[in-house]
């Protein structure tokens, strides 16, 4: 299935909120708050050895009624694609039409050491992963023989559930266009997404003879009127990405190279982070949608009172 793009959909349905909590009970409470605030979609990330997001979402589905639950992302190689399919099918049955399953290769070093997994050829492995997981979930039947996976499996039912993928560089965006139901960015400048990622998705979709799936753009937001404070908060909370080679190369390709030790430039952060008053932030989010992004995955860069700022941002998104 290919998800509808943003055209014609209400703005509120095109902006989701990223929840960052390490303890499941706290995360579920915040998901309930987001639903009460009118947020359409919540997203959660998952580390290689962090809280299992699909399990957490199963519990959250029992305490919510409307809010959509999106993983952004589950590290694919930490579980077999058929195991992922069984989780997805169970989630869909608990929350029909509300689950959006985002998966990705993650950062090799984060799972290679604890799991003892190989780092080589992640895109080739991930291509086969999608070729197994997507029909298993959406058709309830998969037969596949490749270099990395050989499966012959039938499931008791199927699910009309979108399988999204994270992407960073052009080859991954092409794969998203070819084989997924949507691409999810992380810390990519908007100009890079519109000028590089979106055309790559279109190439992949054209090669597969299908419509281009939606692009879901990760957007850091700081409810701060002082740009210097927003930059300082970002640097304190997301310091490591500039040190990762894949991200460093993406930032350089965007025109914002990092320093020798992965330091972010002010120009990069001013382009990357949406900041200002609540009214200004709302206007900037709408402007990003109008530039051609299908959806936004909004993550709070918090100041001194994280919970109060989360509540403000959720209310802001719920009023769009």
268-319 confidence digits (pLDDT tens):
999 999 999 999 999 999 999 999 999 999 999 999 999 999 999 999 999 9
Q: How many residues does the chain have?
A: 320
pLDDT for residue 2 is more than 70: no
pLDDT of residue 22: 85
Looking only at the bridges linking them, the beta strands covering 274-275 and 215-222 are parallel
74-133 confidence digits (pLDDT tens):
999 889 999 999 999 999 999 999 999 999 998 776 777 788 877 788 899 999 999 999
Q: Domain 11-318, what architecture?
A: Alpha-Beta Barrel (3.20)
Q: Read off the tokens for 263.
A: 């330091």
State pTM to two decimals.
Answer: 0.95
171-188 confidence digits (pLDDT tens):
999 999 999 999 999 999
Rounded to an integer, what distance in angstroms lies between the CA atom of residue 38 and that of residue 41?
Answer: 9
Q: Read off the tokens for 28.
A: 């579920």
Q: Which residues contact 237 (CB under 8 A, 6 or more apart)?
A: 301, 302
Q: How many CB atoms lie within 10 A of CB 315?
A: 16
Q: How many CB atoms lie within 10 A of CB 61?
A: 22
φ/ψ (deg, to 5) at 234: -60, -50
**What average pLDDT does range 136-149 have in this prediction?**
98
pLDDT for residue 140 is more than 60: yes
Over the chain, what is the mean pLDDT?
94
Axis-axis angle for helices 53-63, 81-94 (nearest 10): 10
The string of DSSP codes covering the chain is -----STTS-GGGGEEEEE--SSHHHHHHHHHHHHHTT-SEEEE---TTS--HHHHHHHHHHH-SS-EEEEEEEEGGGS-HHHHHHHHHHHHHHSTT-EEEEEE---HHHHHHHHT---S-HHHHHHHHHHHHHHHHHTSEEEEE-SS-EEEEE-S------EEEE--SHHHHHHHHHH-S-EE-SS--HHHIIIIIHHHHHHHHHHHTSPPPPEEEEEEEE--S-HHHHHHHHHHHS-SGGGSHHHHHHHHHTT----TT-PPPHHHHHHH-EES-HHHHHHHHHHHHHTT-SEEEEEE---S-HHHHHHHHHHHHHT-
Could you tell me the pLDDT band of residue 6, with boundaries at 50, 70 and 90?
low
Q: Structural domain boundaries of the chain?
A: 11-318
232-263 confidence digits (pLDDT tens):
999 999 988 999 888 999 999 999 999 999 99
Q: Read off the tokens for 6.
A: 């943003």
pLDDT of residue 5: 56
Axis-axis angle for helices 81-94, 122-138 (nearest 10): 40
pLDDT for residue 31 is more than 60: yes
């Amino acid at each position: 299935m290919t998800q509808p793009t943003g055209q014609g959909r209400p703005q509120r349905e095109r902006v989701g909120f990223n929840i960052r909590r390490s303890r499941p009970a706290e995360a579920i409470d915040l998901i309930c708050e987001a639903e009460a605030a009118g947020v359409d979609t919540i997203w959660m990330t998952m580390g290689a050895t962090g809280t299992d997001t699909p399990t957490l979402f199963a519990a959250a589905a029992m305490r919510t009624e409307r809010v959509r639950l999106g993983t952004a992302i589950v590290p694919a190689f930490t579980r077999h694609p058929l195991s992922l399919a069984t989780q997805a099918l169970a989630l869909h049955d608990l929350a029909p039409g509300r689950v959006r399953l985002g998966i990705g290769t993650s950062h090799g070093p984060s799972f290679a050491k604890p799991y003892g997994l190989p780092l080589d050829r992640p895109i080739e492995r991930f291509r086969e992963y999608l070729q197994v997981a997507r029909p298993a979930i959406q058709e309830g039947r998969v037969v596949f023989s490749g270099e990395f996976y050989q499966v012959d499996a039938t499931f008791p039912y199927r699910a009309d559930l979108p399988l999204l993928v994270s992407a960073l560089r052009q080859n991954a965006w092409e794969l998203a266009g070819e084989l997924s139901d949507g691409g999810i960015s992380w810390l990519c400048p908007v100009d890079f997404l519109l000028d590089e990622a979106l055309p790559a998705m279109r190439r992949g979709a054209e090669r597969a003879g299908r419509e281009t799936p939606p692009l879901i753009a990760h957007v850091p937001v700081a409810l701060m009127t002082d740009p210097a404070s927003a930059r300082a908060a970002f640097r304190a909370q997301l310091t490591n990405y500039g040190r990762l080679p894949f991200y460093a190369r993406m930032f350089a390709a965007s025109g914002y190279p990092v320093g020798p030790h992965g330091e972010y430039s002010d120009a990069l952060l001013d382009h990357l982070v949406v900041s200002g008053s609540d009214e200004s932030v709302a206007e900037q989010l709408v402007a990003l949608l109008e530039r051609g992004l299908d959806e936004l995955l909004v993550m709070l860069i918090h100041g001194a009172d994280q919970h109060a700022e989360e509540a403000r941002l959720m209310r802001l998104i719920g009023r769009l």
